[in-house]
Amino acid sequence: MATLLHLDTSVFPEGGSASRSVTAAFRKAWEEQHPDGTVIYRDLAADPLPHLDGVAASAGFSDPTTHTPEQQAAFALRVKLAEEVEQADAIVIGAPMYNFTIPSTLKAWLDQVIIMGRTVGPEPSAKGTPVTVVASRGGSYAPGTPREGFEYVQNYLQAVLGESFGLDVDFIVPELTMAPANPAMSELIPKFEASRDKAHEDATAKAKALAERLAA
C-alpha cells in the first residue's frame, strides 16, 4: 500500500489558509487513487515539535549504546520522524512564507529529521522520494518582481530537501494571497484568483501523476 507523508505548518485553519487548502486538494486526489493507502499526517502548527537542543543533537553524533536516558528519549523522536520520511512513497508539505522564510515549526521538523549518515549524507535514506512543497505567500517574489531577492523559501527548501535529502522536489506557489484582504492590493485580486485556481489544479494533477507512477 502506498504511503503519503503530509505536513501542514500554517498557523491558520484550512478555511483561512492558502497552503492548507492546496495540500488538502493534493491529499484528496492521492486518497482517491489510493483508497487503501496510508497517510501519515503532522500538523506542525497545532502540534509543534521541540526545537533541536544539545541533548538531541549530540545523540545524533554518538554511539547509541553510549546514550544517556535523556539522549535515548530525544533521539527516539528523531528516529521516528526519519522513519516517517523513509516510509513515504510521496510527501506533501505546506510551507507558507512568514517574514520571508519558512515557519519556525517546519524548521524545527527539519532540524530533528536531519540525521547525518542516515537521512542526509552520501546516500540519503529517502533519496528520490517525490516531495511537493506548497509555498504560498501574501505577495509575489517571482523573478523580475521588486522583492525577488527576498525569496528564502524555495531557495532554502530546494537546498535542504533536494540537495541534502536527495528528494525529488516540486513547488506549487499560490501567491498574492493577501490581495482580497489588503485594499492596496485590490487590483491584484484577479491574479490571486488565477494563482489560487492553478495551485489547486496543479496539486490535483501532481497527486494523480504520482499515484500513476507508483502503480506502473
Placement of cell 518582481 in the chain: 145
Q: What is the Cα–Cα distance from 24 to 191, expressed in whole angstroms?
A: 22
CA dist list (Å): 60 to 12, 54, 162: 33, 10, 21
pLDDT tens, position by position, 188-214: 999 999 999 999 999 999 999 998 888
Among 36-40, 43-47, 110-114, name the one with the lowest average pLDDT. Answer: 36-40
Q: What is the pLDDT of residue 63?
A: 86
CB 64 within 8 A of CB 28: no
- Average pLDDT value for residue range 79-84: 98
User: What is the average pLDDT value for the chain, to the nearest integer?
Assistant: 95
**pTM, full prediction:** 0.96
When pLDDT is cut at 50, 70 and 90, the band that residue 113 belongs to is very high
When pLDDT is cut at 50, 70 and 90, the band that residue 21 belongs to is very high
- Average pLDDT value for residue range 69-79: 94
pLDDT score of 177 more than 80: yes
When pLDDT is cut at 50, 70 and 90, the band that residue 101 belongs to is very high
